[in-house]
Amino acid sequence: MIPIIPDVLVEYQSEIWVSIGESSIMVGFSVLAALLVGLPIGTFLFLCRKGQLLENRIVFSSLNLIVNIIRSFPFLLLVIFMIPFTRFVMGTAIGTAAATLPMMVIAIAHYSRLVEQSLLDVPKGVIHAAVSMGASVKDIIFKFLYVEARSALVLSMTTSTISFISYSTIMGVVGGGGIGDFAIRYGYLQYRTDLMVYIIIIIVIFVQIIQYTGITLARKIDKR
């Protein structure tokens, strides 16, 4: 009889659960940062573009440059580059909490760009109509832009979350732990290739679930 859960996973199950918890913290806080900070920044980037409601070349160029620089960093170098800042903010540069900070920074930059791109797809006529109705910028954002771009925003968040999972796998460098770090330490370094393969399968399953959920939700809320 083939066991449903391989023995090696049973053997390491407590460590695996801890690793999944660490990954969840890193990815969860990144998603939260993306939503709470990346979404407003992306919206502001869009609104400051040429021809948009808050057109401002200097603000747009500056913000655009910052987002581009952060996104251009190879992630591992960003983590190392940020160590002094992380130590200043978190009191330490080691551990899951400290590893979460650079993840949040890249999450904000990543999602803000996708938000800006999603909002560009909203027909200009819809914004013109909103202005003609006497809508304020806040009204335009919440009653028009986010409503019309909602499925694109959900898909962007799906793509971002999957990228965050990928980023989280290298956070072992600063002692962040996580499921990727577990696969390297217990699977690769201890020559337990079978364990590494199982962990990769677990990550693939997670990614599939997130992708499926995102696509299903985006489809459900898209009425255009």
Q: Does 125 bind another protein (CB under 8 A)?
A: yes
From CA 195, how far away is CA 208, in angstroms rounded? 20
Q: Does 173 bind another protein (CB under 8 A)?
A: no
Q: Does 120 bind another protein (CB under 8 A)?
A: no
Q: Does 189 bind another protein (CB under 8 A)?
A: no
From CA 40, how far away is CA 112, in angstroms rounded? 8
Nearer to another protein, 97 or 135 (CB): 135
Q: Does 128 bind another protein (CB under 8 A)?
A: yes
Q: Which of 55, 123, 173, 190 binds another protein (CB under 8 A)?
A: 123
From CA 176, how far away is CA 173, in angstroms rounded? 7
Q: Which of 49, 71, 143, 185 binds another protein (CB under 8 A)?
A: 143
From CA 118, how far away is CA 130, in angstroms rounded? 18
Q: Does 51 bind another protein (CB under 8 A)?
A: no
| Joined tokens for residue 213 | 């959920």
φ, ψ of residue 191 to 5 degrees: the values are 55, 35
CA atoms within 13 A on the CB side of 115: 27
Q: Which of 2, 50, 191, 224 binds another protein (CB under 8 A)?
A: 224
In whole angstroms, the minimum distance from the beta carbon of 177 to another protein comes to 40
CB distance 214 to 154 below 8 Å:
yes
Q: Which residues bind another protein (CB under 8 A)?
A: 123, 125-126, 128-136, 139, 143-144, 147-148, 150-151, 221-224
